[in-house]
Amino acid sequence: MDQQTLKEHVAAAALERVAALPNDQLVLGIGTGSTAECFIRLLPQIKSRIEMTVSSSERTATLLGELGIPVGDLNSVGVLDAYIDGADETNDQLQLIKGGGAALTREKIVAAAAEVFICIADGSKRVGTLGAFPLPIEVIPMARSYVARELVKLGGQPIWREGVITDNGNVILDVHGLSIDNALALEGQINQITGVVCNGLFARRPADCVLLGTAHGVEVLTPG
């Protein structure tokens, strides 16, 4: 089965879970990336249940708009019923690396505001130890070199994602060579570097479940 089909399967499984939520009208956080996009393309099926969505990127907001799904401001809605998004890596504790699409900061904000975070990914994203995927860090542009030097002190090799400006007007450093045994500690440590806006470790707010597309069907990872 190709990767695209696996993504479509997990997107469909996520839609089923969202449709099964008890509220009549739903406020949903919507992620960014090719797997999230598979999910977004299914949303018209439950359009009558969607009161509002909050998008994690301009790209996603545009697609939602094209599909006629209402998109609002996080400040104007309360707690989100669910957040649905992909990931670049997940471990079995449901800690994630995200930010391959440079949307990590808004993704982390929307995830934080959600009751339930449903992560969707093809099976290749499951790892024993996080870090083979270079860890994205969103940085204030003038702090780029300083932050890069500080990241080297933490044992990583940061590479500037040249030509990429985030929706927040910042730049991305991708940190190679990390083997992340304690994601919670590293997430906090990187956030302490002056000039860092956000890092792509989702350990303080991990997923609540990860739906993984595999050749044998959709596997569900849950905490514990």
Q: Which residues are the active-site residues?
A: 107
Q: Does 85 bind ligand 5RP (CB under 6 A)?
A: yes
Determine which residue in the list 6, 10, 101, 183 makes contact with ligand 5RP, applying CB under 6 A: 101
Q: Does 98 bind ligand 5RP (CB under 6 A)?
A: yes
Token pair for residue 107? 């993704």
Rounded Cα gap, residues 69 and 130, in angstroms: 34
- The single residue listed with the structure tokens 């130890």 is 129
Q: What is the largest CA-CA distance in the chain?
A: 51
Token pair for residue 15? 């839609």
Residues for the chain: how many in total? 224
Determine which residue in the list 74, 104, 171, 183 makes contact with ligand 5RP, applying CB under 6 A: 104
Residue 93's nearest CA partner among 126, 116, 136, 134 is: 126
Q: Does 156 bind ligand 5RP (CB under 6 A)?
A: no
User: Is 179 strand, coil or helix?
Assistant: coil
Q: How far is the CB of 8 from ligand 5RP (least distance, A)?
A: 12
Q: How far is the CB of 121 from ligand 5RP (least distance, A)?
A: 7
Q: Segment near ligand 5RP (CB under 6 A), from 66-74, 101-109, 142-150, 161-169?
A: 101-109
Q: How far is the CB of 32 from ligand 5RP (least distance, A)?
A: 4
In the window 28-67, what residues touch ligand 5RP (CB under 6 A)? 31-36
Determine which residue in the list 13, 29, 55, 88 makes contact with ligand 5RP, applying CB under 6 A: 88
Rounded Cα gap, residues 64 and 50, in angstroms: 12
Rg for the chain (alpha carbons), in Å?
17
Rounded Cα gap, residues 84 and 186, in angstroms: 24
Q: How many CB atoms lie within 10 A of CB 24?
A: 8
Determine which residue in the list 29, 100, 156, 206 makes contact with ligand 5RP, applying CB under 6 A: 100
Q: Segment near ligand 5RP (CB under 6 A), from 63-71, 98-106, 154-162, 169-177?
A: 98-106
Nearer to ligand 5RP, 152 or 220 (CB): 220
Nearer to ligand 5RP, 146 or 160 (CB): 160
Nearer to ligand 5RP, 101 or 134 (CB): 101
CA-to-CA dists, residue 81 to 24, 102, 108, 137, angstroms? 11, 24, 15, 27
Provide the binding-site residues for ligand 5RP, judged by CB under 6 A.
31-36, 85-88, 98-104, 107
